[in-house]
Amino acid sequence: MQSFLEQRRIYKQLEKQIVIKHDKPEDIRTHERRYWYRGEGGLGSEDREPDDGEAAAKRREHGHRTIIAGPTLEPRHSTRQHLEREGDVETADYNPSVQTDPYAINTRDTLGGNTDMMVTGIERERPRHGRQLPRRSSTANGVERSRWSVDEDDDDDDDDDGGDEDMEKILLVTYEGDTDPMDPHNWSFTCRAACTTLLGFVSTIVLFSSTIDASALTSTRQLFNTSFELQTVPTAVFLIGLGMGSMLTAPLSELFGRNPLYISCLICFMLFDMGAGMAQNVGQRSVCRGLAGLFGSAPLVCAAASLVDLWSIIERVYAFPYFAILSFLGPLFGPVPGNFINQAPSVSWRWVDWLTIIVTGFILALVVLFLPETYSPIRLNWKAKQLRRLTGDDRYRAPMEFNRDRFTRRLALALCRPFILCAGEPIILFFSLYLAVIFIILYTFSSGYVSIFEKANGLDQGHAGLTFLAIIVGVLLSGLLVPLSMKLTRGDIYRSRDRGQARPAPESNLYMAMFGAPTIPIGLFWMGWTASPSISLWSPIVASMVFGFGILCVFVSAYQYVAAAYEFHPGSALASLQMFRLTAAGIMAVIANLMYDALGTHWTLTVLGGIATVFLPVPYVLFIWGHKVRDWSRYAPTESP
């Protein structure tokens, strides 16, 4: 709904800006409406008469095209030099196989002066198939529209452009400068912060479902009369569905936009979670939970990609931690109500699903009503369509329309892209393996977390679940590193500009991981050897805070680093990370309790701490030699440090 309303606002804004300026200023026309001035700054309008067949060429004889400045779509905010948006939106969905003439003309002045919303793009030339020549054809209402035709007789036609006879010209619609309010990066801080908060809630509820469901294992095992290991299968297939589904849903968001995926997949997530709540055996519950995870993957991975749509490099230093903290609250807070529901004699265990559905429905309503579309190629496509309708000039094209491949081919390429990145990109392979290990540790740690306090300290299930709040405190404390990380990143930006580079290297996003990575094995060893009846309860609680601090630091840096390295397709790149980490977590959900039973609490956490120590150098290695690793990449843009 919000995207639809925003699209309508963009259309109306452009309609007010593109007019035909006649000798008499009180008579101003577009191809569909007539405007007139009333007083100072006032502008009245009415629909054009159906029989108004005055030719566009005749109208242009009496004046030239100009732009009427109207109100902005969103409040502007001043953009300081070091906060400028990185990247080139022209290449957001650009087909490298299409060779273009390097000569480009900024056509901003062809439609007038500066306005609140710029409407033109860059004039580009591209090869024709055969000899495509622009021709003019009048429509029924007399509006001239530009068409592309193919001249079959190459030898008989002389092109007026001389050496350009093998090129055709289009107007590539893009953003105009760093203050264009149509660009999500230029929305007000309040608007972008609200969008980020809502995206965090979307991720929170999906991950909340993964752990609140696991808290009902005891009740479902008694009801379905199965083993404890078999009852962990629904949780495992849910996590695997989250991982595998991201490989399909993330590239679809790069074709259709973020919001259609959010809305449709949240609806399906609710329906299949309802099916899981009504299941009568573990097989039915496993199928429904797996499908719920498949559809829940879209909001999870697209939310991180939307942050790239909204925030610049320096702004992501605080935007990503804020989003990650909200996301981590879900799986860490899930066992708190889940254990009390499972323990309460008057409440059915199925309320773990009903509670998830209720909260998801509330968040879905907020998404429909208030979340705008953030994906720039889709927004520019809206703009190009409206420009073609208003001006009658079919040369206006959005960047995603410049790709001349058929839709089926583009869809196939988009769906294959995450697998290509996953298989052939060293950066993604390194960080996918690292995050997979981290999340194996996290879910193995979480699986035995409650039982550790139940056995070692004699707490009941409900109060033992409250100890998860200690990990949440550690996650929140990681926010204290944001000012330091921002200071270091800003210094990297200034140094990169002194070297003549447009942006700093992606390795500037690894500071939080380098600060937080050592605390993961420290927290595991600490908790593993202090979770004992003879030692105070507060010692393992503080150890879990240290563990939560390190987990969030590594998670934030990994996502920031990959998003910066693959800025043109962040959704597909982040999908590869999500597939590895959540699939690994799903597998460990089944075997984690077997490890605790076989090795005991002390040695299980010691083994996990040893694994974390082995992978500890990863962020430091990438910080020093990451630019060389990126030189091996086909898709990550590289700039030498």
CB neighbours of 578 closer than 8 A, spacing ≥ 6? 242, 243, 246, 297, 300, 301
Handedness of CA 342, 348, 352, 358 (dihedral sign): negative
Residue range 188-338+348-374+426-631 in CATH 1.20.1250.20:
yes
- Pull the structure tokens for residue 368: 């429909």
Q: Which tens digit of pLDDT belongs to each residue from 541-563?
A: 898 899 989 988 998 888 888 87
Q: Distance (Å, rounded) from C-alpha 179 to C-alpha 168?
A: 30
Q: Which tens digit of pLDDT belongs to each residue from 169-213?
A: 677 787 776 777 888 888 889 999 999 999 999 999 998 988 888
Residues of the chain with CATH 1.20.1250.20: 188-338+348-374+426-631
The residues facing 106 across adjacent strands are: 122
Give residue 135's pLDDT: 38
pLDDT of 624 above 60: yes
pLDDT of 80 above 70: no
| Chain mean pLDDT for the chain | 72
- Note whether 284 and 275 are within 8 A (CB): yes
Estimate to the nearest angstrom the gap between the alpha carbon of 308 and the chain centroid. Answer: 6
Q: What share of the chain in percent tops pLDDT 70? A: 67
Q: Which tens digit of pLDDT belongs to each residue from 300-339?
A: 888 878 888 898 877 888 888 899 888 888 888 887 788 7
CB neighbours of 623 closer than 8 A, spacing ≥ 6? 507, 510, 514
Give residue 34's pLDDT: 55
Among 65, 74, 63, CA closest to 13: 74
**What DSSP string describes 52-65?**
----HHHHHHT--E
pTM value is 0.70
- Note whether 18 and 390 are within 8 A (CB): yes
Among 321, 278, 258, 283, CA closest to 509: 321
> Cβ atoms within 10 A of the Cβ of 322, count?
18
Give residue 205's pLDDT: 92
**Regarding predicted confidence, which is higher, 456 or 106?**
456
- Note whether 15 and 390 are within 8 A (CB): yes
Identify the top-confidence range among 118-122, 367-371, 530-534: 367-371
Q: Taking phi first (over 0 means left), then psi (-120 to 50 degrees means alpha), and beta for anything else, what does residue 113 get? A: beta
- Pull the structure tokens for residue 477: 């404390």
Which helix or strand (DSSP H or E) is residue 497 part of?
A: helix 482-498
Q: What share of the chain in percent tops pLDDT 90? A: 12
Give residue 409's pLDDT: 73
Give residue 431's pLDDT: 79
- Pull the structure tokens for residue 26: 């009180």
Give residue 318's pLDDT: 86
Q: Which tens digit of pLDDT belongs to each residue from 374-401?
A: 888 888 888 888 888 877 778 788 877 7
Within 392-518, where are the H helices? 407-424, 426-447, 449-457, 461-466, 468-477, 482-498, 511-516
Strand, coil or helix: 433: helix
Strands 43-47 and 167-172: unpaired
